[in-house]
């Protein structure tokens, strides 16, 4: 049991050290697939914003227009 615990502790201490020694070689670099993924969702957001802006402008025009129509309700 003592031998297994010692081997486990040695493995836990020595194996991660090689990963830490690699440094930040790939930090800040994005791949082409990551750029396409982010760009695809940016296009979805833009295509959703265009109709929303058009509807908002139409609503504001309707609220501030001087030609207000009065609707009669029939009972």
> Which tens digits make up the pLDDT trace of 14-69?
766 555 555 555 556 678 888 899 999 999 999 999 999 999 999 999 888 876 56
Specify the pLDDT at position 4.
86
Separation in Å, CA 21 to CA 2, 3, 38: 30, 28, 31
What sign for the dihedral angle of Cα 15, 18, 21, 23? negative
Q: List for the chain the helix, strand, coil content (%; round to 5).
A: 70, 0, 30
| Model pLDDT, residue 9 | 78
């Amino acid at each position: 049991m003592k031998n297994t615990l010692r081997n486990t502790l040695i493995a836990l201490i020595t194996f991660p050290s090689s990963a830490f020694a690699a440094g930040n070689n790939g930090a800040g670099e994005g791949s082409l697939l990551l750029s396409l993924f982010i760009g695809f969702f940016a296009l979805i957001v833009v295509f959703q914003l265009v109709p929303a802006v058009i509807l908002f402008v139409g609503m504001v025009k309707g609220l501030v227009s001087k030609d207000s129509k009065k609707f009669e309700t029939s009972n």
